[in-house]
Amino acid sequence: MSDPILRLEGVYTNIAQYHILQGVDLEVPRAAVTMLLGRNGVGKTTTLRSIIGHWRAHQGRIVLDGQDITRIPTPAIARAGVGFVPEDMGIFANLTVEENMVLAAVSGPINSARLDWVFQAFPPLKTFWKSEAGNLSGGQKQMLSIARAMVEERRLYLIDEPTKGLAPAIVSTMARALRELKAQGASILLVEQNFSVARALGDTACVMDDGRIVWSGEMRELATDASLQERLMGLSMEAH
Amino acid sequence: MSMAPEHAPTMARLSLAQRLAPWMPVLLVPLLVVAGLLAIPNTSSWLTLTVSGLAMGMMIFLMASGLTLVFGLMDVINFGHGAFVSVGAFVGVSVLLLLGGMTGAPSLALNLAAMGLAVIGAMLATGAMGWAFEKVIVEPVYGHHLKQILVTMGGLIVVEQLIIVLWGPEEIYISRPEALKGAITFAGAALEKYRLVAVGLGLVVFAAMRWTLRRTKIGLIVRAGVENGEMVQALGYRLRLVFVGVFIAGSALAGLGGVMWGLYQEVVSAHMGNQAMILIFIVVIIGGLGSVEGCFIGALLVGLMQNYVAFLEPKVALISNIGLMVAILMWRPMGMIPVVKAK
């Protein structure tokens, strides 16, 4: 792989006495969607949180576009161009949709063309622009969470389970928006439990187990090899 | 870009009760004022007590508003907040004593100028002290509530002793500027001029805080930080700087409150901030942690309740505010306008 946008080299992360990441080696190619897959509790969320700096890697290196970001503070990592959509969405419930979006536009006022693009992807956000985010439905909150990352161009998007617990129609909306983001040349590291979505969006995939990457390769290779899925993730294609 | 699939959400129209629910805390203040009018037979006494209660509430708000933001944004239980009240009062009174010529002149402009200088001096001193307090005492104990209580109480004791070292152990009596002495008569009620100034100042500070929090980006960051500091950082904002800024602003506001409180009581002592902390905590808790609006309403309720009950049944006045807190927490356990989830 030539010149990835993000590289993790032997990353170990501990949370209190728990050793969650145990030597993660991972490369995220440019202008592609990399799926981070694996069973619950194997360290996918911890990997994203270590990259954004919420939890510090105790050992190893995290390199963004040639710059070592292992020890730099979270705001500096975000300003270096990393957009983060956490698993719990991180919505500011007492702020309006507009205020959430204004806050996400770190470099200045929101670009109106960019905002129109976001509205096209997520029409309910325009409808509820002046409403408190806490009054939105679960799906709308997830739309807002992703829209905040999309409102400015980022070098890398870290997105944690965007379709978790959502109705099929909303899952389709999310998938379309992410596909659109991908079409614009974005580099995305996406944690996703919905294998259908992963298969539709992913270019490459990394599978985690027990705090390590145990397999990485082309997504289509994983998608077409049922025995590999069964072995790596306990997935059964009949379930999808 | 293709449109999203069928998804046409609507918001159901809320019932009258649902629409009124968020405004209930705001309605409590006029309700209490009306209750006072019904309970106090003499209208002029009621008017005097109401203005007095509002003035007291405004001064408590000045002292408490910084603490609620520090609570909400930084999750810091700062028992040392009263130190800023005391220091502000002493610095302010010292400035006023230095400007005796201005405060003694029967000119409202000169008097207000002297008060303005006293307030600026107090806010600068307590703001700087807040910066040092945060750096030396609070920063090492972020995330440890028990340690925060212990070290900030320790900080309060140290500051009180430093006040005694610098200004002496005796209370300092101070008379109000000449033009702010006495009262004006309105509808048969005597309204103290100083209390009217305190009400005006409280309203201005509340409006300025609300404008800053609602209309500026830094206000947005603070409000978002109260809810979810981690996410604010993930968006690229250095919350640590915002923390320090809020701590400094909160300390300076406490200093402003200290000057006003000192002039209200016409005496300052090293322990006055500590004594005010009970009222300040009641206001912060019933208002809802992190809520400036809740703090404002809570302070007005406390001020009015204290004055009405002290007039009607002086012995009950001592427990009236505790009773108010219990009643409000039974109604809304997270306070009137909760912003921060219990941590």
3-class secondary structure for A90-133? CCCCCCEHHHHHHHHCCCCCCCHHHHHHHHHHCHHHHHCCCCEH
- Contacts across the A-B interface (CB distance below 8 Å): 89
Is B5 within 8 Å of chain A by CB? yes
pLDDT (average), residues A184-198: 91
The CA distance from A190 to the nearest CA of chain B, in Å, is 17
User: Do B238 and A121 lie within an 8 Å CB cutoff?
Assistant: no
Number of domains in chain B: 1
User: Do B9 and A124 lie within an 8 Å CB cutoff?
Assistant: yes
Residues of A in contact with B220 (CB under 8 A): 95, 99, 102-103
Sorted by sequence, the CB contacts under 8 Å of residue B214 that are 6+ apart come out as: none
Tokens representing residue B341 in the block: 């989830």
Q: Is residue B9 part of a domain?
A: no
Residue B163: give its domain's CATH number.
1.10.3470
pLDDT at B72: 77
Classified as helix, coil or strand, B227 is helix
What's the CATH fold of domain A6-239?
Rossmann fold (3.40.50)
pLDDT at A95: 93
Q: Is residue B43 part of a domain?
A: no
Nearest Cα neighbor of A101 from A112, A111, A110, A90 is: A110
CA B288 – CA B244 distance, rounded (Å): 22
Is B223 within 8 Å of chain A by CB? yes
Residues of B in contact with A106 (CB under 8 A): 235-237
User: Do B224 and A103 lie within an 8 Å CB cutoff?
Assistant: yes
CA B228 – CA B241 distance, rounded (Å): 16
Per-residue pLDDT of chain B (343 residues; tens, 9 = 90+): 444 555 555 566 777 777 777 788 889 999 999 999 999 989 999 999 999 999 999 999 999 998 988 887 778 889 999 999 999 999 999 999 999 889 888 889 999 999 999 999 999 999 999 999 999 999 899 888 899 999 999 999 999 999 999 999 999 999 999 988 988 988 888 899 999 999 999 999 999 999 999 999 999 999 898 889 999 999 999 988 998 999 999 999 999 999 999 999 999 999 999 999 999 999 999 999 888 999 999 999 999 999 999 999 998 887 899 999 999 999 999 999 887 654 4
| Residue A20 φ then ψ, to 5° | -85, -60
Is B26 within 8 Å of chain A by CB? no
Closest residue in chain A to residue B226, using alpha carbons only: A92
Q: Is residue B27 part of a domain?
A: no
Q: Is residue B303 part of a domain?
A: yes
Q: Is residue B2 part of a domain?
A: no
Instruction: Look at the alpha carbons of B254, B257, B259, B262 in this order and tell me if their dihedral is positive or negative.
Output: negative
Lowest pLDDT segment from A100-109, A162-171, B251-260, B279-288: A162-171
User: Can you give the residue range of the structural domain that contains B98?
Assistant: 49-331
User: Do A74 and B221 lie within an 8 Å CB cutoff?
Assistant: no
Q: Is B210:B292 a contact under the CB 8 Å cutoff? A: yes
Residues of B in contact with A75 (CB under 8 A): 233, 236-239
Residues of B in contact with A139 (CB under 8 A): 7
- Given a cut of 80, is residue A203 above it in pLDDT? yes
Q: Is residue B37 part of a domain?
A: no
